Structure 1
Amino acid sequence: MIEIKNIQKTFQGKTVLSDISATFEPGRTNMIIGASGTGKSVLLKTIVGLFEPDAGAVLYDGRNFHTSNRREQKIIRSEIGMLFQGSALFDSLTVADNVRFPLNVHSDMSESEKDDRVNFCLKRVGLEQAAHKMPSEISGGMQKRVGIARAIVMNSQYLFCDEPNSGLDPQTAWMIDQLIHEITQEYNLTTVIVSHDMNSVMEIGEYIMFMYKGLKIWEGNKDTILDAEPKELRDFLFSNKLVRTFKGMQ
C-alpha cells in the first residue's frame, strides 16, 4: 500500500500540487487522471522520489520515503517497477538483456538464476520467443510488454505506469491494460497508473483520482465516475467521444 498525505509542491513560486492525499491499495489498478498540466506527472515523480515535496509524506507500507536514510530509500527503490511512456528500452540491448538489466544492477543472483527469472518474466508477458531480438525489431506493443517484464523482474511490490498506452492502437492498448490488470491482481502489486486514456479508465479503473490545477477534485472508480458531480471532471469526461458514447448507451 502507498499512502500520500497532504503533498505540496511549488516550482518558482507557483503551486503545482496542493494538499494531495490518497491511498493506493495493493491488488487493484489505481489511476491518476486529468488534462495535461494538472500536476499528474509531478505527483508521480514525487511519489517515486524524483522530486522532494515541500510538505507532506509518501508512505510505502508505512515507511516514509522522504524522511528515510539512503539505505532505506535504496531498499524501497529496489521494490519499485516502472513502465515508462516510451518504454525506455536500451536500443543496443536485446529484449532479454533489457529485462535482465535491473538484475545486473540491483541483485546478487547467479547468472543462471538471472536467466531463469528473465525467461519467467518474458513468458509471463508472452514474449519468450522474442528474447534475442532487438527493440527495433519488435512492435510498439511488444516493446511495452518488454517494459512490463522489466518492471516486474525484481519481484516488485509497487508498479508505476506513465501513460502506458501512449502511441498504441486501440486493440493493442486494450491488451496492455488487461496485462497490467492481470499482473496487478496475480502478484498483489500496488499499481499506480498516470493516464488520460478514458478507454483505460472505463476498463480497469478500480480506484481513480481526478486532478485539476494541482488539486484532487474527485476520487472513485469506473462504476461511479460517469455520475460524478464536480463540473471540472464532467467537462473532462464528456469532451471525450468514448465517454459520450458510453453514457448514451446507458
Structure 2
Amino acid sequence: MIEVKNIRKSFQGKIVLNDISATFEKGRTNMIIGASGTGKSVLLKTIVGLFTPDSGAVLYDGREFHSSTRQLQKQIRREIGMLFQGSALFDSMTVAENVRFPLNIHSDLSESEKDDKVNFYLERVGLENAATKMPSEISGGMQKRVGIARAIVMNSQYLFCDEPNSGLDPQTAWMIDQLIHEITLEYNLTTVIVSHDMNSVMEIGEYIMFMYEGNKVWEGNKDTILDAEPKALQDFLFSNKLVRTFKGMK
C-alpha cells in the first residue's frame, strides 16, 4: 500500500500539487487521470522520489520515503518497478538483456539465477520466443510487454505505469491493460497507473483519482465515475467519445 498525505509541490512559485492525499492499495489497479497539465506526472514523480515535495509525506507500507535514510530510500527503490510511456528499452540490447539489466545493477544473483528469472518473466508476459530479438525487431505492444517484464523482474512490490497504452492500437492496448491487471492480482502489487485513456479507465479502474489544476477533485472507481458530479470531471468525460457511448447505453 502507498499512502500520499497532503502533498504540496510548486515550481517557481506556481502550485502544481495542492494538498493531495490518496491511498493506493495492494492487489488492485489504481489510476490517476486528468487532462494534460493537471499534475498527474508531477504527482507520480513525487511518489517515486524524482521530485521532493514542499510538504507532505509518501509512505510505502508505512515507511515514509522522503524523510527517511538513504539506506531505506535505496531499499524502497529496489522494490519499485517502472513501465515508461515509450517503453524506454535499450536499443543496443536484446529483449533478454533488457529484462536482465536491473538484475545486473541491483542484485547479487549468480548468472544462472539471473537467466532463470529472465526466462520466467519473459514467459509470464508471453515473450519466451523473443529473447534474442532486438527492440527494433518487435512490435510496440511486445516492447510494452518487455517493459513490464523488466519492471517486475526484481520481485517488485510497487508497479508504476506512465501512459502504458500510448501509441498502441485499441486491441493491443486492451491486451496490455489485461496483462497489467493480471500481474497486479497475481503478485499482489501496489499498481499506480497515470493515464488519460478512458478505455483503460472503464476496463481496469478499480480505484480512480481525477486531478484538475493540481487538485484532487474526485475519487472512486469505474462503476461510479459516469455518475460523478464535479463539473471538471464531467467535462473531461464528455470530451471522450467512449464515455459518451457508455452514457448513451445507460
Q: Give the TM bin, normalised by the shorter chain.
A: over 0.9
Q: Deviation at 1:79?
A: 0.1
CA displacement at 1:6 relative to structure 2: 0.1
RMSD value, Cα: 0.3
The residue number in structure 2 matching 1:199 is 199
Secondary structure of the structure 2 residue equivalent to 1:129: coil
Kindly indicate whether residue 56 of structure 2 is the aligned counterpart of residue 56 of structure 1: yes
| Aligned twin of 2:146 | 146
Q: Distance in 2 between matches of 1:198 and 1:20?
A: 22
CA distance in 2, matches of 1:246, 1:107: 47
Give the aligned residue type for 1:122: L
Q: Which residue of 1 aligns with 2:83?
A: 83
Structure 2 match to 1:113? 113
d(CA) in 2 for partners of 1:239 and 1:157?
35
Indicate the residue corresponding to 1:11 in structure 2. Answer: 11
CA deviation vs aligned residue, 1:184-219 (integer Å, no higher than 9, x gap): 000000000000000000000000000000000000
Counterpart for residue 101 of structure 1 = 101
Aligned mates of 1:26, 1:174 — CA distance in 2? 22
Distance apart, 1:61 and its partner CA: 0.3
Say whether residues 1:43 and 2:75 are aligned partners: no
Q: What is aligned with 2:239?
A: 239
**TM-score after normalising by structure 2:** 1.00
Distance 1:23 1:247 in 2: 28
Q: How far apart, in 1, do the equivalents of 2:248 and 2:27 lie? A: 31
Q: Give the letter aligned to residue 181 of structure 2.
A: H
* Deviation string, structure 1 residues 104-148 (Cα, Å, up to 9, x no partner): 000000000000000000000000000000000000000000000
The CA distance in 1 between the partners of 2:62 and 2:202, in whole Å, is 30
Deviation at 1:76, TM superposition (A): 0.1
Partner AA of 1:149 in structure 2 = A
> TM-score, normalising length from structure 1?
1.00
**Unaligned 5+ residue runs, structure 1?**
none
Aligned length: 250
Identity, % of aligned pairs? 88
1:223 to partner: Cα distance: 0.1
Q: Could you tell me how far apart the structure 2 residues matched to 1:118 and 1:249 are?
A: 45
- Which residue of 1 is the match for residue 176 of structure 2? 176
Displacement, 1:12? 0.1
CA distance in 2: counterparts of 1:179 and 1:246, whole angstroms:
24
Once residues 45 and 137 of structure 2 are traced to their aligned partners in structure 1, the CA distance between those partners, rounded to angstroms, is 31
Question: Within the alignment, does 1:137 sit opposite 2:132 as a pair?
Answer: no
Q: What is the Cα deviation at residue 50 of structure 1?
A: 0.1
User: How far apart are residue 151 of structure 1 and its match?
Assistant: 0.3
How far 1:82 sits from its partner (Å)?
0.1
Name stretches of at least 5 consecutive residues in structure 2 with no aligned partner: none
Task: Give the drift of 1:54.
Answer: 0.1
Paired AA for residue 100 in structure 2: R
Counterpart position of 2:164: 164
